Amino acid sequence: MEFRRPKWDETRDDGLVRGHEWRIFPILHRRYLFADVEQFLLYDFYRPSGGVDEEVFAYSNRFNDERGLVIYHNKFADTKGWIKTSAAYIDKSSGKTKRRNLAEGLGLPRVGHVIFKDYVTHLEYIRSCKEIWDKGLYVELGAYQSHAFMDFRFVGDIEWKTICDQLNGAGVQSMQDEWKKLFAVAEEVVVEEKPAKKKRAVRKAAVKKKPVAKKAAVKSKAKTKKAPVKAKAAKVAAKKEAPKAKKAVVKKVAAPKAKPAKKVVVKTKPVATKKVIKPIVAKKKAVVNKPAPKPAPAKKAVKKKK
C-alpha cells in the first residue's frame, strides 16, 4: 500500500488476523525456501483412474537441507490421487527435456521413514520413503484445500514402521507423543514407583512424634498466661470508659447555649421591618386621593377674570 495510515475508519477483523498468524506468517518467515528457482519442480496430480487433474497445483523447492512441498486444489469439489513425477522442463546444461521423481526432487533416502509437518493444519504425517520412490505421495483434497509441508526429518527404527502402519496416512499433533504412547509407557511406570515407597517410609516416622510433645507444652504455657491477660484487659477497659464520660458532658453544655440565641435574633428582625413598611404605603395612597378635587375650581376662576 502507498498509505501509512488507513483512509477509512474500519474495524479490525480478528478472525482474518488469527488466520494470517496461524497460516501465512510462519510461511513468510521462511520465504527463502520458495524464492529460488534452481530446485523448483512442478508436479502432475494423477487420479486413481489414470488421468491428470489439472485443478491441482503441486510444486516443491529446496534450500540447502530444507525442503518444502505445496499442494492446492483450485475447485469446489473433492479429489484424490498421487503426486509422483514432475512436469517436463528443459535442462539448461544439456538443453533436453527432463522429468524428475518427487522423492528425487525432495532428496529423500530410499530406506526408512520420513516425518513432515503441514503448516496449514499444524499436523504431522509419516510416510515410507520406499513408497514415495515407487508410487509417489497419496493425497486426498477437499474443495479449495491446501497443504504446505515442511520440516522434513528422517527416522529408521522399527518402531516408526509400526506407527506408520497404525496411522495409515492420518495426521497427529506430535509424532513424538505417539511414539511415547506406544513404546515409552512401561519405562515411565517403573521410574515413578521406586521413589514413592522410600519417601513415605522415612517422612511419616519422623514427622509424627515431634509435634505431639510440642503441642502439650504449648497448651500448658497458654493456660498459665490467661489470668494476667484478663486482668490487664479489665484495667484497659476501665481507663477507656472514663474519658468517654467527660466528652459526653462537654457536648451537652455547649449545644443549648449556642444554638437558640442565634435563631431568635434572626427571626425577629425581618418580621418587624415588614410590618412597618406596609402601613406607610397605605397612608400615601390616602393623601393622594384627597387633593384631587381641589385644583379643579381654581382653574375656572382664572379664566373668567380675563
For residue 139, pLDDT over 80 is answered with: yes
Phi-psi region of 217 (alpha: psi -120 to 50; beta: other; left: phi over 0): alpha
For residue 123, pLDDT over 90 is answered with: yes
C-alpha cell belonging to residue 290: 384627597
pLDDT tens per residue across span 153-202:
999 888 999 999 999 989 999 999 999 988 875 554 555 666 555 555 55
160 lies in which domain range? 14-183
pLDDT tens per residue across span 57-108:
999 999 988 999 999 999 999 999 999 999 998 888 888 899 999 999 999 9
pLDDT value of position 281 = 40
In this predicted model, which residue has the larger pLDDT, 40 or 235? 40
Residue 216 belongs to a domain: no
Residue 243 belongs to a domain: no
Strand partners, 269: none
Residue 200 belongs to a domain: no
pLDDT value of position 3 = 76
Question: Would you state the torsion angle of the CA atoms of residues 299, 301, 302, 303, taken in this order, to the nearest 10 degrees?
Answer: 90
Q: How far is CA 78 from the centre of its chain?
A: 36
Residue 203 belongs to a domain: no
Averaged over 42-51, what is the pLDDT?
92
Q: How confident is the model at residue 23 (pLDDT cuts 50, 70, 90)?
A: confident
Averaged over 24-48, what is the pLDDT?
89
For residue 27, pLDDT over 80 is answered with: yes
Residue 23 belongs to a domain: yes
Residue pair 170/108 in contact (Cβ under 8 Å)? The answer is no
What is the C-alpha to C-alpha distance for residues 272 and 274, in angstroms, rounded to an integer? Answer: 6
Averaged over 132-140, what is the pLDDT?
94
Averaged over 16-34, what is the pLDDT?
86
Residue pair 102/85 in contact (Cβ under 8 Å)? The answer is yes
Residue 258 belongs to a domain: no
pLDDT value of position 47 = 93
pLDDT value of position 62 = 92
Residue 268 belongs to a domain: no
The full 3-state SS of the chain, as one line of letters, equals CCCCCCCCCCCCCHHHHHHHHHHHHHHHCCCHHHHCCCCCEEEEEECCCCCECCCEEEEEEEECCEEEEEEEECCCCCEEEEEEEECCEECCCCCCEECCEHHHHHCCCCCCEEEEEECCCCEEEEEEHHHHHHCCEEEEECCCCEEEEEEEEEECCHHHHHHHHHHCCCCECCHHHHHHHHHCHHHHHHHHHHHHHHHHHHHHHHHHHHHHHHHHHHHHHHHHCHHHHHHHHHHHHHHHHHHHHHHHHHHHHHHHHHHHHHHHHHHHHHHHHHHHHHHHHHHHHHHHHCCCCCHHHHHHHHHHHC
| CATH classification at residue 19 | 2.60.40.1180
For residue 206, pLDDT over 80 is answered with: no
pLDDT value of position 36 = 84
Note the residue count of the chain: 306
Residue 143 belongs to a domain: yes
Nearest to 111 by CA among 170, 157, 151: 157
pLDDT value of position 130 = 94
In this predicted model, which residue has the larger pLDDT, 235 or 24? 24
Number of structural domains in the chain: 1
DSSP strand pairing (146-155 vs 56-63): unpaired
The per-residue pLDDT of the chain, averaged, comes to 73
In this predicted model, which residue has the larger pLDDT, 20 or 277? 20
pLDDT value of position 191 = 57
Strand partners, 138: 82
